[in-house]
Structures are given as C-alpha cells and as structure tokens.
Amino acid sequence: MARDIPVGNGSLLVTFDSKYRVRDVYYPHVGRFNHTDGHIQRFGVWVDGRMSWIEEATWTRELRYRPDTLVTDVTLTNRELGIEVRCSDCVDATDPVFFRKATVRDLFGRQRDVRLFYHWDMSIGGSPVGDTANYDPITSGVVMYKDDIYFLFSACESTKTGIDSWSIGTKRVGGAEGTWRDAEDGQLGRNAISQGSVDCTVGFNLQLEPNGEASVVSWLACGKSYGDVKSLNRRILETGADRMIDRTDSYWRLWCRKEPVDAKTLPPACRDMFYRSQLVMRTQIDNGGAIIAANDSDITQFGGDHYSYCWPRDGALVAHSLVASGQNELSRNFFRFAARCIEEDGYFLHKYTPAGKLASSWHPWMLEGQRILPIQQDETALVLWALRRHFDRFRDVEFAKSVYTQLVVKPAEWMLKYRDANGLPLPSWDLWEERRGIHTFTVASVIGAFDAAADFAADFGEPDRATRYRDAAISMRAAMRKHLWSNEQKRFARLAVSQSDGTYRLDMTADSANYAIWAFGALDVHDELVQHEMKALRERLWVKTHIGGCARYERDYYHQIEREKTDLVPGNPWIICTLWQAQYLIARAKTVDELSEAVPYLEWAVKRAAPSGVLAEQLNPYTAEPLSVSPLTWSHATYVIVVMEYLAKLERLPSSSRRMMDVAANAAAEKRGPYHLPPDVIAVPGVPA
C-alpha cells in the first residue's frame, strides 16, 4: 500500500498509508531503523458510545499537504457518526518529534462526547523483543524504550497537558491482538507497565458544543535516553506545540522556494508538483548524507527486503536534481557520504545502509566458477558525473578538493583498468540489477564519468591525467558506436555479451535506459543515432492503454500485469522512463513549439500522482494504481530535473521566444483544460483518462 503523506526532517521519518494509518517510523536515520516493522498504527474515534476506526468504510478520507510545505492537511469525515476530523501532521523541522493536531467538528448540531484513541504498535529497532512501555507520571505520557532508543507519547489541549487515558499490554503473543481492542468500549485499562512484545494506546477526551469543534495536539518525541525525551517534552510545552507546527510550516515553505525559479510558463499543477517533489525527496534523505531509494515497508512481503538503502546510482541522480534546484548542502552531504563508502580500489558495491555500511545484495562474487566483481559500474560512474555537475553549478573548490582523490582519481583510475580489449567496460550488472554484461547505459555513464574526471584533472593542474581520461572517453565513444549499434535495426543494443572470438552477442530488447546515450554526454542529442534510438524507444515501449506512459523494457516481468498483449502493454509504465522522453524533447528543442512538446509528459506525471502529490515507482497499465514502492525518490528527482532543464532551455531561447512561450502556454492551458495526454495515449470507451 502506497505511503501517501510522508513527513520527516532527515533524522525522523513518519509515513502514512492511503487510509491515513501510520505505518513506518524511522529514527535516528531515514531508513534505519523502522520501529513499527511496517505494522498498522491505528487511529480510532469514539463518539457518544460508539467506536469507529478510521480505516472502516464509513469514513471518507482526503490526504493532502498544505501547499509548499511538509505539514499535512487531512480531512476525515464520518456522516454516520456526524463527525469531521481535520488533522495537521508534521515532523518538527529541527527536533525529532512528530506532531499531530486533530480538530474534531460536530456535524449533527448537538453536544458530543468524543474520545480519540491512537494505537502505537512499536517494534523498537525492528524487533519487539525486549521492549518496555510504561506510564510516566512526570510527563503524563507513555514512554516506550529499548537500548538507546526512547519514545514518549504525550499531548496537550487548551485546558490541560498530558494524555487522558492509556492502555499498555502485549500484542501478537498468546493470541493477543493488541491494546487497541481495549479502546473499543471507550475506556482504557491504565496498566502501568509491560515488557516484551508490547504496545500502547493513548486516549484524549473532547467535549463539543452543537456545531462546535475542539482540538488536541499529540506528539511522539524521540531520543537516545529518558533524559532526552523528557527534556524534549519540556521544550514542547514551553515553546508551544502549535507554535512548533507553525514554524515547521514556515521553514518548509522557505526551503522549497529558496531559489528564485520562474516557472510561470508551466501549468499551475506542474508548478505545484515541482515544489511537492522537492519536499517529498527531502523526507527520503538522511541528514548523514544517504539518499534512500524508498521507505515503503510493504515491499518486504515480496522478497523479504526493502528499498531503505542508498544505491549510489539513485543517490547520484537524485543529487543531480538537488544540484539543479540549488540544494547544495544536501548534494554536498551525499558526496561526503559516498566518499566514506567507496571501496579502496575505487568502485562502489551494490548498495549501502543509511549508516554507510554494505547492505544486503543479490550480486554474487563468483559466477560459473570464476571470481567476479559484484558491481553495477554505472553506480561508480554516475557519482563522479554528478559530482562534476555539482562543481560546475556551485564552484565550491574547497569541497571539491576534499573529495577529489576519493571520488575522482580513484574511480577514474579504476575505470581505466576495468576495460576490455575494445575499450568498453568489462561486464557488470545493469542498472535494473537483473542481468550481467556490457550495457549501453553503463557505457554511456562511464563516458560521462571520464569526461567529468578529465575536467576535474585539468582544473586541479594534472594535465597528464586529464589527457588519459579524455582519450578513454573518446575511444569508448567510438567503441560504443562500433559494437553496440545495430545498422540493421537502426538502434542500440541494451546489452552486449563477449564471445570467445572477440565479438559480441547483442541483446536488442528495447530498454528505456538507453536514453543514457545522450543524457550523460556520450553522444550529442542531435546525433542521428540518438534520434533513431529515442524514436524506437518511444514507439516500442509506450503503453497503449488509456493510462499511457513508457515501460522500462519490452516484456518487463517485475510486478508484471499484462502477460499476453505485450505488443500493447510492453510493461508497466514507469514515472522515470516516461519523463526521460520529456527530458529528450527538451534537450533537442530549438524552438518554442518543440520545447512545448515536453509539457504533456509533465502533466501526465501530475495526473498519475496520488492526490497528495506522491509519485510511485510504476503503475498498473489499466488502472494507474501505484505498484511496487511509493514514493520513489528517483521518480520525484526525475520530475525536478525535467522541470529545471525545461526552464533552463527556455531561458536560453531569445527573449521574444520566451514571451511567445508565455502566451502559448496560457492559450494551450485554456484550450486543453487542466490535463493533456502525450501523443498515443488511447481512449478506452467507458474508462476515464
């Protein structure tokens, strides 16, 4: 189930599912540890003797954020109960504390006795073994702890502080469902302490006048000791919980608009998504520098693992979006993190934990009895390539000097050695982590990395190195044209496998990843080969349903929905793959009309987002239901990159053309309405687009 409204500050991340139930609590790192283990944290409303949990069918839910901030705006309505609950959730911009302000309104026009119940089913450190929960009379809250992780649950409203009632007990032991069952009669047992596989439910009492409303602010304060959470609780009471929510709201508005980006030529919904994407990305980035792929724990049911790791490739491309949008502190943190993780020989392994340790992997160290490197070489190359993008934008020489050896010299020297007799990279795993060989995406990224290394070496006064790196890029370009291009099919292979006679066997499966041939500078975007390749990808990979979008590659099996009509549905539509087509249109555009062709792809992405603005990894080709993880950090990063490249290209057009673009954009928006499909999206009778 998608995570619709994540809130966080880089050390504490809280995610909600589409029914507005808290599902994941990560602390002290984004992505590590998940202290709920993905279990549901329930929210119940007891009104005039009747209990209802918000996932029940009698509730309607609107899950959104306030504009341009990481404070939610959630409306829960139950017409049978005659109750509306308006919630604002956030993680404080500075401190590790999660706030929820709930305002309850009567819809029946009579006095109401309302009790709110929040259930916390914690598994501290990812395991319930050895947890303790106790009522703390000093803070009038419940404290749960294990080792050096402490949580304090408390609240306040206009006339009092602390929780009104609580229940502490066991869950998933001896048939116990959890203390949330204790709330269903409107009363909680007030057990003082429990240990082991424990949970708690806390309650708040509100009295409503006819058509009136009342509010309570609750919080989850995190720390490494009881002293930490007690001190944080005191600071909340002294500062005021409402004030802390308001300052967090203001901080994120300032953060996402710190750069003077003029996006008025874009449709309003596309502009809103630009800022929302930056904010969602920020929730997935750890303050220690790790850029996490996704933090949707539901994915663990498919393979027993999750996406809460830092892949250097994902991190590099997200860092590129941070560079483009001016978030230089975050991109700098990522490169520092990468410099700590890189292997001594100059390459990255598969993926890393938020703490910078080697993460789980399915890449073997031995294949067919031979020792191999369990790597995806594009991950090493793209970190170097993205670092150059950072330096070109910010020119922070002191920082570049600090990582020059680790992230430029070592990987460039290793990549020089890791080549075959034809000048192509030796085999590694592809960016989709599914097959091993010499991949067009990898080749293009390595060319981009050699160019970046040459520029750095020249800047740092090492002309010999610069020449070697530049020559390597030139020879690899020639080898890519010679060995990976099919004259017969007029497109590039996705994969080449070395043969014993020195030739290559080509896999000609159309793969969206081949956009890399121009994206990282391997070939000029106007090169005839690039034009042939991108046209073929668009024709072969477009999903020909009313949903549209581009698949990863032909007959993509990952979360595959359509297994028979693969000529119409080559795979599920991916957000990043669809936006790569927009990126290409922008890169090649020479006129206003050509540039405007990219806008429908941005609108497509907006249309396929959740109402909150969250973008998934991929979509059901018939329903647009999110598949795999949501949000995917890479999806939001790609959206930001496309917008920034669109605006940069527009800025380079003559001023008269830009004025024409403003007029054309407004006229087009009026003509097509709020949403316009890219070409080739088909209408299906009876199914709205």
DSSP structure string for 345-380:
TS---S-B-TTS-B------SEETTEE-----HHHH
Residue 425 DSSP class: B
pLDDT of residue 673: 47
Q: What angle in degrees, to the nearest 10, is found between the helix axes of 599-607 and 268-283?
A: 60
- pLDDT, one tens digit per residue, over 316-337 is 999 999 999 999 999 999 999 9
Instruction: Please give the pLDDT value at position 665.
Output: 55
What is the pTM for the complete model shown? Answer: 0.95
Per-residue pLDDT at 664 exceeds 70: no
Q: If DSSP codes are grouped into helix, strand and coil, which group holds residue 130?
A: coil
Quick check: 666 pLDDT over 60? no
The whole-number average pLDDT for the span 577-599 is 96
How far is Cα 255 from Cα 662, in angstroms, rounded to an integer? 27
> Using N-to-C axis directions, what is the helix angle for 397-404 and 377-394, rounded to 10°?
160
The whole-number pLDDT of residue 485 equals: 98
DSSP 59-97: EEEEEEE-TTSS-EEEEEEETTTTEEEEEEEEE-SSSSE
Instruction: Please give the Cα distance from 302 to 313 (Å, whole number).
Output: 23
Give the tens place of pLDDT for each residue, 367-392: 999 999 999 999 999 999 999 999 99
Interval 420-458: pLDDT, tens: 999 999 999 999 999 999 999 999 999 999 999 999 999
Give the model's pLDDT for residue 680.
Answer: 58
pLDDT value of residue 500: 87
> Between vectors from CA 224 to CA 219 and to CA 228, what angle results, nearest 5°?
60
Please name the residue that has the structure tokens 């490494």. Answer: 224
pLDDT of residue 158: 83
Calculate ∠ Cα 317-318-322, nearest 5°.
Answer: 115
Q: How far apart are CA 341 and CA 356, in angstroms?
A: 6
Token reading at 356: 């910078």
Q: What is the structure's pLDDT at 304?
A: 81
Contact 209, 109 (CB under 8 A): no
SS (H, E, C) 93-110: CCCCEEEEEEEEEECCCC
Residue 689 has pLDDT above 60, yes or no: no
For 336-345, what is the mean pLDDT?
A: 98
Bin 596: left if φ > 0, else alpha if -120 < ψ < 50, else beta. alpha
Residue 312's nearest CA partner among 333, 337, 294, 295 is 337
The pLDDT of residue 682 is: 45
Which DSSP state fits 439? E
C-alpha to C-alpha distance for 63 and 79, rounded to whole angstroms: 18
For residue range 134-161, list pLDDT tens digits in order: 999 999 999 999 999 999 999 999 889 9
% residues pLDDT > 90 (the chain): 91
Q: What's the pLDDT tens digit per position in 511-545?
A: 999 999 999 999 999 999 999 999 999 999 999 99
pLDDT at residue 684, as a whole number: 34
What are the extents of the domains in the chain? 7-256, 261-286+542-689, 328-342+360-536
- DSSP code per residue over 219-272: EEEEESSHHHHHHHHHHHHHH-HHHHHHHHHHHHHHHHT-S----TTS-HHHHH
Is 519 strand, coil or helix? helix
- Dihedral of the alpha carbons of 587, 592, 594, 595, in degrees to the nearest 10: 40
- What does the pLDDT read at residue 653? 86
Instruction: Spell out a b/e string for 365-399, using b for 16 or more CB atoms within 10 Å of the CB, else e.
Output: eeeeeeebbbbbbbbbbbbbbbbbbbbeeeeeeeb
- The 10s digit of each residue's pLDDT in 609-644 is 999 999 999 999 999 999 999 999 999 999 999 999
Contact indicator for 2, 610 with CB cutoff of 8 Å: yes
Tell me which of 3.20.20.140, 2.60.120.650, 1.50.10.10, 3.90.1150.10 is the CATH number of domain 328-342+360-536. 1.50.10.10
Question: How high is the pLDDT of residue 688?
Answer: 38
What residue type is assigned to position 532 of the chain? H
DSSP-derived secondary structure letter, 408:
I
- Predicted local distance difference test score (pLDDT) of residue 658: 56
pLDDT at residue 581 is higher than 90:
yes
Instruction: Write down the pLDDT at residue 659.
Output: 57
389 alpha-carbon distance from chain centroid: 21
d(Cα 520, Cα 49) in Å, to the nearest integer? 63
> Could you give the C-alpha distances from 51 to 23, 102, 579, in angstroms and in order?
21, 17, 46
- What mean pLDDT do residues 582-607 have? 96
Q: Is residue 589's pLDDT more than 50?
A: yes
pLDDT at 1: 59
CATH code matching the domain that covers 7-256, chosen among 3.40.630.30, 3.30.70.1400, 3.30.70.360, 2.70.98.10? 2.70.98.10
- pLDDT tens profile 55-88: 999 999 999 999 999 999 999 999 999 999 999 9
Report d(CA 266, CA 639) in Å as an integer: 13
Residue 686 has pLDDT above 50, yes or no: no
R_g (Cα) of the chain, nearest Å:
27
For the stretch 88-141, pLDDT in tens is 999 999 999 999 999 999 999 999 999 999 999 999 999 999 999 999 999 999
* Position 657 pLDDT exceeds 90: no
Residue-averaged pLDDT of the chain: 94
The answer to whether 95 touches 232, Cβ cutoff 8 Å, is yes
Residue 417 burial class via C-beta count within 10 angstroms: exposed 0-12, middle 13-18, buried 19 and up? exposed
Query: How many angstroms separate the Cα of 164 from the Cα of each of 139, 215, 530, 613?
Result: 12, 14, 66, 35
Question: Has residue 250 got a pLDDT over 60?
Answer: yes
Categorize the per-residue pLDDT at 251 as very low, low, confident or very high, splitting at 50, 70 and 90: very high
pLDDT average, residue stretch 350-374: 95
